[in-house]
Structure 1
Amino acid sequence: MIFGPYTFLILIIFVASLLIQAYLSRTYSRWGNVRNSRNLTGAQVARLMLDENGLSHIPVNAVPGNLSDHYDPIRKTVNLSEANYHVPSVSALAVAAHEVGHAIQDKVRMPALVLRGQLAVPLSLGMNLAPLLLLAGVFLQLSGLLWLGVILFAGALLFHLITLPVEFDASRRALAYLNSRGLVAGRESQGARNVLTAAALTYVAGFAMALAQLLNVLGIARSQND
């Protein structure tokens, strides 16, 4: 990391991100140990929600890892970590319904999801190149490379910005479905909300970090031009 005017802010957000990750792990673990009253596994809830939304063709797979759950828009599969796939916990219901929420977004062609998919590969490459261009621009005194790096950092911020409504909407769909179908009751509903809120905070932290990094590199670029 190159030190700039916002380096301290980046460090603060980094620490905050670690705390958020710890909060997510604690919340997920807590509700992962609470069996839901319907005794349904994440796989069963995902299958039910997919079928009821006209997505019977989408398979639900178990994948290794912890919190490795995701929807694959290329292969059209809902992938749940083994714990969420097999265990009838409140956390499993919340996470499974969230991933199916992404599948529903894909079905209705949610603009933000479509845009994120189109930009994912080029912006990912840009995120990897940006620090290298920034370093080269600073040490070689090449303002063109420096500002190109700034533009790529801005692309990273754009990706995080687009991700926020996609994730929030998937959680909204998940909670609405679980509550409307009576799959969570009483404190289980609040538990599912807590799990999804904790997960959402990680995306907010990612956006904040990208914003701080962009401000930092902007400050570096301006100082190099002075």
Structure 2
Amino acid sequence: MPFLWYDPTMILLLPAILLAMYAQFKVQSTFARYSRIPARSGLTGAEVAREILRDNRIYDVRVELTPGILTDHYDPHNKVLRLSPQVYNSSSLAALGVAAHEAGHVIQHQYGYVPFNIRTLIVPVAAIGSQLAFPLLFLGLVFGLRELAQIGVIAFSAAVLFQLVTLPVEYNASSRAIEALEVGGYLTREETPHTRKVLSAAALTYVAATLTAVLQLLRLMLISGFFGRRDE
């Protein structure tokens, strides 16, 4: 069976794999570079995040330290903004950009930004779809159950939808971050372009993830026979 031994459709993923590798290198190198440059404000990422929330009259979200490297995220269910040590404790241009970006997600939640709400709603569906997709596809191909394989592909499409919705959410959060840093005076006009580079590099990782998901979906559709192909 081609799926088990040799699958020529894997070549479809090559552009996404290359982009993902470049994006990972770009975000790590850019963050490392601007982590060495302190912001003139002298504020840490945690302080800036709290200030931005206060500037937007958001008082019910905690800012906490979380372990790991670049594990920064906003938890909308518990209303907690979690920052990694290299962001929470640092006053670098990179740290302020990441902290402000996560604060941007809090602002999205607070003011009902539609793509953010959609992404939050489909998280459980996307998680289940990702877990079921490949087992269903595999079983369908092994036992010649084409419909079962196609159900697996449909399940995977939930993960693709999540990635597609994530793109505008992340770009909007970065835009809000830059605006908040400028308006609040946390960055000077000369510092802003450097922080913008950090956020642009991070955004590229989401572009790579979306491309990977879309091409993977196309590949799975080919394998399962969505376009009329029947596996021999």
Superposition TM-score tier, normalisation by shorter sequence: over 0.9
1:205 aligns with 2:211: no
1:12 to 9, 12, 15: 15
| 1:188 to 2:191 alignment | yes
1:78–1:99: 8 Å Cα contact kept in structure 2? Answer: yes
Shift of 1:195: 0.5
State the shift of 1:45 in Å: 0.3
Identity over aligned residues, as a percent? 38
Q: Tell me whether 1:176 sits opposite 2:176 in the alignment.
A: no
Shift in Å, 1:11:
2.9
User: Where does residue 139 of structure 1 map in the other structure?
Assistant: 142
How far the C-alpha of 1:4 sits from its partner, in A, is 4.5
For residues 122 and 16 of structure 2, the distance between their equivalents in structure 1, rounded to whole angstroms, comes to 25
Q: Which runs of 5+ in 2 are unaligned?
A: none
SS of the aligned residue for 2:71 comes to: coil
| Match runs of 1:19-168 below 5 Å | 19-168=22-171
Name the CA distance, whole Å, in 2 between partners of 1:30 and 1:171. 19
Give, as a single letter, the amino acid of the residue that structure 1 aligns with 2:78.
R
Could you report, residue by residue, the CA deviation over 1:148-192 in whole angstroms, capped at 9, with x for unpaired residues? 011112111111001111111100000111122222124421111
In structure 2, how many angstroms separate the alpha carbons of the residues matched to 1:56 and 1:204?
A: 32
Give the 4+ runs in structure 1 shifted more than 3 A.
1-6
- Post-superposition shift, 1:147? 0.7
Work out whether residues 52 and 184 of structure 2, in 8 Å CA contact, stay in contact via their aligned partners in 1.
no
Name the CA distance, whole Å, in 2 between partners of 1:32 and 1:12: 30
Number of residues paired by the alignment? 226
Secondary structure at the residue paired with 1:191? helix
Measure how far apart 1:16 and its partner are. Answer: 2.1
Aligned AA (1:106): H
3-state DSSP of counterpart to 2:191: helix
Is 1:215 equivalent to 2:218 in the alignment?
yes
**How many angstroms does 1:131 deviate by?**
0.9
**Structure 1 residues not aligned, in runs of 5+:** none
SS at match of 2:81: strand
- The match for 1:224 among 204, 223, 230 is 230
Inter-partner Cα distance in structure 2 for 1:170 and 1:12:
27
How far, CA to CA, are the matches of 2:202 and 2:17 in structure 1? 16
TM-score between the two structures when normalised by the length of structure 2: 0.93
| Superposition RMSD in Å | 1.6
Query: 1:225: how far off?
Result: 6.3
Report if the CA contact (8 A) 2:129-2:157 is conserved. no
Report the residue type matching 2:230 in the other structure.
Q
Structure 1: how far apart are the matches of 2:21 and 2:135? 25
